Structure 1
Amino acid sequence: MGKVHGSLARAGKVKSQTPKVEPQEKKKTPKGRAKKRITYTRRFVNVTMTGGKRKVGHVAFNRIAARKIYTDAYQKFADEP
């Protein structure tokens, strides 16, 4: 059996010391199709600038963008005589 960090007598010390805060009422979050729509717009449509660099989106989006750059460069060289 692995070693325990500290004695088990102190288990839950921090949780018992923190003051109880009542949960605040929040707006209903969308479910299903509506949530997918919001995540799509957040990832692909509203790709925002952060710190002078383009915010890195989804992995598939980066692959598509890299493929487009590669094919555009290839077309440029293929068109030249």
Structure 2
Amino acid sequence: MGDRWRVEVDRAICIGSAQCTHLAPDAFRLDTAMQSHPTEPETDANERILKAAEGCPVEAISITLPGNGEPVFPPEE
């Protein structure tokens, strides 16, 4: 993919399903409140991180390009 991504989890939406930690265990962790956090807020583009964002049941994960904020996921409509 070649890009860098900024990964964020909206704590107001996250329900702690842990789908992201199963799909991309190196990229997400659950805190003591059972809410997800990216292990690194900015990272190399990675198919597993995209799959984790797509697999989040409440769409709490967003991915943008750090330079211009262009959305990677969810895509603009």
Normalised TM-score (structure 2): 0.23
Greater per-residue strand proportion:
2
Q: Name which one, 1 or 2, has greater alpha-carbon Rg.
A: 1
Greater per-residue helix proportion:
1
Normalised TM-score (structure 1): 0.22
